[in-house]
A and B are shown apart, each in its own frame.
Chain A
Amino acid sequence: MTMFTKRIVVTGLGAVTPVGNDPSTFWQALLDRASGVQSIGSLAARGARPSYAAEVKDLTPEAAGLPRKRLKMMGRQAQLAYAAVAQASADAGLLEERAVDHRRLGVILGVGMLNADVDELGRAFHAMADGVSHRSFDMIAFGRLGGPQLFPLWLLRHIPNLAAAHASISLDAQGPSNTIATGCVAGANAIGEAARIIARGDADVILAGGTDARTTALAILRYRELGWLATREDVPPGAVSAPFDDSATGFVTGEAAGIVVLESHEHALRRGARIYAELAAYGAANDAHDVMAPHPEGRGLAKALSRCLARGGLAPAAVDALFAPAASVPSFDRAIASSLRRVFGTGREGPVITATRSILGHTHAASSALDSIAAVKAIQASQVPATLNLGSPIADLRFVRGTTHRAPITTAMVGAYGFGGHAAALAWRGHHA
């Protein structure tokens, strides 16, 4: 049984990440194990914890092709997505005239939660506090005095589906459009959703992937209070994110956007597009266990991986490499390791396993889209990047450590797993006519 009723291929890539703002720079940094986690001067100077994050650097509107007139309406996550969509669509040759029927061109993004902007709200609270004698929150004063301090169009930066809307407008994409939020799994779900829609014949080409910018003050406070964020200062920032390592203390929050151009094989052939790889199968599942913690054995992830294998007609031993969703949060890392043991065994048969979040930090909804780009690159280059900071593994699995794994990669899987028990898996395969 094959997963899709049509063959689905990748014909373009776009990436804006903490280690580089295009897919090639991103891939080279993974091979070089060059961490994107860096100290943030303003935070370090004031004793803020954590004092580091995995931010996107040097994303100027000019270089990223961001429209200055619309920038004020775009939140950070929409800006990152816009830049990655522009790269991917150019890479796939979609901008050439008559490359595609615009009514059959779609955009499907996985996104993260958009916390309030503390500068925006801070101005409003400050104005409110100036107008009242007491210290507690005053709804009437907030409305009268705080409201006018807000930028009139601020809501547009906080409507989650507008990242995809800005992208659709820029590409004149009048076909299917969706915005998916499934915590840190959203990028993988968006790619799976897009493949399904192409397979059922409702679109020819869909730009799919994830975007997230949870490096905001409120996101940091949230994850720090929940105990999921690393705050250690005893090692350099680049050594903090340690997925599958005994020393892991939490994730390093990051921001990124990753986009793949998915297309039906027949459409790609017809327009003579360059084909990077094929999406062989997709599977999704849920722990149905606890919304605040993973199932101890990673039940949802095991199910998603097994479903993906079954639908792709793949034996576990046929998978050459696995990009694992471990983000350096001990409970999640252990649950993921447990599910991988269950699905692939511990022998030498299964895939080599790597965790790019050791280098990229945790880019949340973008993470599995970036892993998909890495998987496509791994297939093309016959190389799998090593996991950084993995000195004492918590499990006996075939982790890629120390140096790049060099071997032909026919099939690479991406696993995604996170808050809410969400799980998904994608199987990427080298393209053969």
Chain B
Amino acid sequence: MKRRVVITGAGVVSPVGIGLDAFWNGLTHGRTGITAIGRYDASGLPVRIAGEVRGFHLEDYIDRCHRPVSPAGCPVTLDLRTQYALAAAEMSVWDARLQGSDEWQDATLYFGAGEGDNDLALLSDMLTPWSTAQGCDMPALLSGPAARHFGVRDQLMEPTLPASLLAARHGIQGEVTTCLTACAASAQAIGEAMRRIQEGECDLALTGGAHAMTAPLDVLGFAMLSALSSRNDAPARASRPFDRHRDGFVLGEGAAVLVLEEWSHAKRRGAPMYAELVGYGTANDAYRVTDMHPDARGAAGAILHALNDAEVDPVDVGYVNAHGTSTIENDRAETLALHKSLGDAARLIPISSTKSMTGHAVAAAGALELIAVTLALRDQVLPPTINLETPDPECDLDYVPNRARSHAFHTALSNSFGFGGQNVALVVRSVAGPNR
């Protein structure tokens, strides 16, 4: 028999709020975290809106003495993605009452992330003298010194940096992995961490994701792919999943970290349990690097695998947290995938996209959304899809438009799809017995 896996801790840093209470309060009140970009002057960019985290100070969560130093011994400045990861993990570990526990030694850490952001001013100082309309003179560049602190700054952009810092911080000497499956990364990380516990590899896992693709090159890059909403004049209304007038996604940022634990282990130590993680499924579209398969074969496949894994019938699914990016294509294909995988039950199940409020936190999105699902289960309240004003005939399901809804349910599905044809689905269920 499979070992059972429960969620016993959660921490979140997001554009709609920092900490579980602020995050959940924001989502259930339909508050958006999307505004004009405030961190830098975006007036030269084609897209000037994003979901930025506000009012965040790493010192509020972690002492200076726990922060890394460079090989030369000087303190280093961590990129936002890593700062968010450290803070969310700290909250999550405290929430699970496992701060400073020596049980972390044999734990698994499986994290979804991307690279840190480029420091354009630093790169500009270093490259501009050697650059022409044709490119950069690499031999000349390599014959001189790099810009001050470039080495450490660049090393800290490594995708694995958040996870390796978390391992050092919490003393995790088990398997420590970072997966980079784009918008599905943290959902995949959670699924793989769950498997480690089910398979007896460990009793305890730290998992989730962090990403901050709100920097100038990220915005420029996605804008050039025509993937982003260009509603620069109405940021709060720009992310409108499943609405007929949607025109692309809005980049967001943040981190979400969960503590997963084997059920009897959690019970033995009297740990509070949020929910049980019961299903995980993946499938690849193998179609195009950016477009979803027109029949949504990978998305539907991942959902079916997850339901089979959880031994859950479609009629028992009480809520779906959609990937719901607000692109024309995703929302249509996801609707199709839900029809294909859930059959007639699809029309009866409420579905919402919290990206309407958070924006798209890319590698962190799946974990942010799983925490939203967990809190929805706890409170029996569904967060809405905001900005859903004009129905799209091709998106014909119940998307919980604009207002949170009280809803009695015990099982939920969370979808995460990404560039590269990555598709991941997770299924969670209320823990039997008295609720937290």
Contacts and interface: CB of A to CB of B under 8 A. Distances in A.
A160 B159 contact: yes
A289 B157 CA distance: 19
Given A122-B131, A140-B43, A300-B173, A200 B136 contact: no
Contacts of A155: 221-222, 224-225
Interface string A401-432: 00000000000000000011110000000000
B272 interface: no
A316 interface: no
A48 B199 CA distance: 51
Given A175-B283, A286-B176, A288-B172, A137 B45 contact: no
B436 to A, nearest CB: 30
B286 A174 contact: yes
B115 A291 contact: no
Contacts of B40: 139
Given A137-B121, A147-B45, A165-B420, A177 B140 contact: no
A172 B421 CA distance: 11
B135 interface: yes
Given A128-B124, A183-B160, A73 B217 contact: no
Nearest to A293: B71
B57 interface: no
Nearest to B199: A200
Interface residues of A, number: 99
Nearest to A158: B221
Given A140-B43, A147-B46, A155-B225, A420 B419 contact: no
A85 B180 CA distance: 19
Interface residues of B, number: 96
A417 to B, nearest CB: 13
B55 interface: no
Interface in B111-158: 113-115, 118, 120-121, 123-128, 130-136, 138-143, 146, 150-152, 154-155, 157-158
Contact of B173 (A141, A143, A285, A293): A285
Contact of B134 (A45, A123, A150): A123
Given A137-B124, A147-B220, A226-B155, A127 B289 contact: no
A113 B289 contact: no
B238 to A, nearest CB: 19
Nearest to A186: B160
B109 A118 contact: no
Interface in A125-166: 125-129, 136-137, 139-145, 147, 150, 152-156, 158-162, 164-166
Interface string B198-230: 010000000000000000110011101100000
A174 B221 contact: no
B17 interface: no
A159 B136 contact: no
Nearest to A42: B139
B42 A143 contact: yes
B157 to A, nearest CB: 7
A79 interface: no
Given A155-B224, A196-B195, A217-B142, 19 more contacts: A45-B139, A48-B142, A106-B284, A118-B127, A119-B135, A122-B132, A122-B136, A125-B124, A139-B216, A142-B120, A143-B220, A153-B225, A179-B179, A200-B199, A221-B150, A223-B151, A224-B151, A226-B151, A292-B68
